[in-house]
Amino acid sequence: MLDTSRSPSPEQDGAEDVLRSGGASSLLPRRRGFYVPVAVKFMLVLALALAWMAFSVWLSQPWLGELTRLAGLPFALVTIAFIAYVPGFMNAFLAGSILGDRRPVRKPVAHYPDLDVLVACYNEAGNIADTLRSLAAQDYPGRLLVTVIDDGSTDETLAIAREQALHLRRAGLAIHVVPMPRNGGKAAALNHGLASTRAGLVITVDGDSYLRTDAIRKLVERFLSDPPNTVAVAGAVLVRNSRVNWLTRAQEWDYFHGIAAVKRMQSMYHGTLVAQGAFSLYTRPALEQVGGWPECVGEDIVVSWALLETGARIGYCEEACLFTQVPDRLGQFSRQRQRWSRGLMEAFARHGRLLLKPRLSTLFIWWNLLFLPMDLVFTLVFIPGIVAALLGHYWIVGMMTLLVLPLAAVWNAIIFRVQQRMFKGQGMRVRRNISGFLFYSLFYTLILQPVCVMGYLAELLSLRKTWGTK
């Protein structure tokens, strides 16, 4: 998708650690001019989304009546609510939020703090060298200590990491390789790395990733420009291997459109729900306060919710770009998304109290709670409804369901324009990937949502948890 031909020049200046315990420092000047408070924006966008949903309810009365005669009122209400009403509300709220997002300008700061970068990896022999080279090429002015935690890999990951550590050392950068005695899982590896380091700011990077030269600098600048109660900032994760096949081409749009847009919206209301392990910054005091990463399959979402439960804020930096290898086989993709679904259920099991926490981002906790019934209805009702429509029976899928397409088109256009503008500002451009976009728009959910249902079932049945795929 990207042309990254233009990159900032590296700088290797020493820097004083300016981290203040418990949050970001208000070191940057704020943009002046007409300002609408975030709470006011939230209420305006919420009113817009509710108005759209009310219009959808009115418009769907004939559909509701016909489906009620066929299958009863409870079935009709649940089906139409989770096929049309709830997704329509979500899309309207997302589009309105993105249009109203005016975050503080990210600017260089006087002093950049020392950083610990944790790279937990397992069997990444084909990728770890690239990851470490991209870390060595960072233009971050402060000192970087990269700690590679090899979690009992059975391939050549450990040997390659040690070789790269010797070759890539430079002023302002040190790379340590720490072998775990046996495979203990990603959370155990990250906690081991956390215990063996000491900088006030900690960044996690997956072992199959490649960072843009300015990624870490921009992530830190966003942290230092965000509100003082910010304890974590998620970076932007994009797809590196998008040209492999139809599945990776579709995922390119999922990361570029769906995931990035949701994170941007959530950070606007001070509650990004996932500081993903692939690329995020955390303050050490905040991580220690919640006991580090929990032993579970979705350690990144669970630790993020633990941080939110303390009342802290998690931000998002759309300009700090990391490129990751996404699954290129359907089985890999299924295992990854099942793991994400299981992580969501783990987060609710451990931090369900967030549903009652009085803050703007509580809406998104409820939003996530609705994913389970949405996925179930889509899998068990909507997909059979498509089959019925192909046979000439339009009980579930028909002209009324097509009315959601205009809003989806508006939402895609808004997100594309915002992301395109951000890319242009960094000397990148959006790659033409029309076939991937068409598959993402029309068929991607036919695979994704049944896979999510399988993940919910796996968690309910307490099936074995492993590293799996990212």
Quote the pLDDT of residue 438: 87
Q: Are 241 and 271 members of one domain?
A: yes
**Could you tell me the residue range of the domain that residue 299 belongs to?**
115-329
Alpha-carbon dihedral sign for residues 21, 196, 191, 124: positive
The total of structural domains in the chain comes to 2
DSSP symbol at 430: B
Q: Are 121 and 254 members of one domain?
A: yes
Q: Are 278 and 142 members of one domain?
A: yes
Beta bridge partners of residue 115, listed in sequence order:
144, 201
The 10s digit of each residue's pLDDT in 342-389 is 999 999 999 999 999 999 999 999 999 999 999 999 999 999 998 988
- Tell me, yes or no, whether 357 lies in a domain: no
- Tell me, yes or no, whether 259 lies in a domain: yes
Beta bridge partners of residue 217, listed in sequence order:
none
Q: Which helix (H) or strand (E) holds 235?
A: strand 230-239
Higher pLDDT among residues 94 and 399, named by residue: 94
Quote the pLDDT of residue 406: 66
Quote the pLDDT of residue 146: 97
Q: Are 165 and 246 members of one domain?
A: yes
Residue 5 has pLDDT above 60, yes or no: no
Q: Are 283 and 23 in contact (CB under 8 A)?
A: yes
The 10s digit of each residue's pLDDT in 190-237 is 999 999 999 999 999 999 999 999 999 999 999 999 999 999 999 999
CA distances from 278 to 24, 197, 360, 431 (A): 21, 19, 26, 23
Single residue among 294, 310, 329 that ends a domain in this structure: 329
Q: Are 176 and 287 members of one domain?
A: yes
- Tell me, yes or no, whether 6 lies in a domain: no
Other beta carbons within 10 Å of 355: 12
Q: Are 165 and 199 members of one domain?
A: yes
Q: Are 96 and 199 members of one domain?
A: no
Residue 164, SS3 per DSSP: helix
Q: Are 281 and 416 members of one domain?
A: no
Q: Torsions phi, psi of 364, nearest 5?
A: -75, -25
For residue 34, with 0-12 CB atoms within 10 Å meaning exposed, 13-18 middle and 19 or more buried, which class applies? exposed
The conformational region for residue 182 under phi > 0 = left, psi -120 to 50 = alpha, else beta, is beta
For residue 290, with 0-12 CB atoms within 10 Å meaning exposed, 13-18 middle and 19 or more buried, which class applies? buried
Match 């870390």 to its residue by tokens. Answer: 135
- Tell me, yes or no, whether 352 lies in a domain: no
Single residue among 260, 295, 329 that ends a domain in this structure: 329
- Tell me, yes or no, whether 338 lies in a domain: no
Q: Are 316 and 403 members of one domain?
A: no
Maximal C-alpha separation, the chain = 74
Quote the pLDDT of residue 394: 84
- Tell me, yes or no, whether 246 lies in a domain: yes
- Tell me, yes or no, whether 353 lies in a domain: no
Residue 2, SS3 per DSSP: strand
Q: Are 95 and 135 members of one domain?
A: no
The CATH number of whichever domain residue 261 belongs to comes to: 3.90.550.10
The 10s digit of each residue's pLDDT in 419-467 is 788 788 778 777 788 888 889 988 999 999 999 999 999 999 887 766 5
Give the model's confidence band at 36: pLDDT under 50 very low, under 70 low, under 90 confident, else very high.
confident
Residue 23, SS3 per DSSP: strand
Q: Are 221 and 198 members of one domain?
A: yes
- Tell me, yes or no, whether 171 lies in a domain: yes
Distance separating alpha carbons of residues 179 and 414, to the nearest angstrom: 46
Residue 176, SS3 per DSSP: strand
Q: Are 71 and 202 members of one domain?
A: no
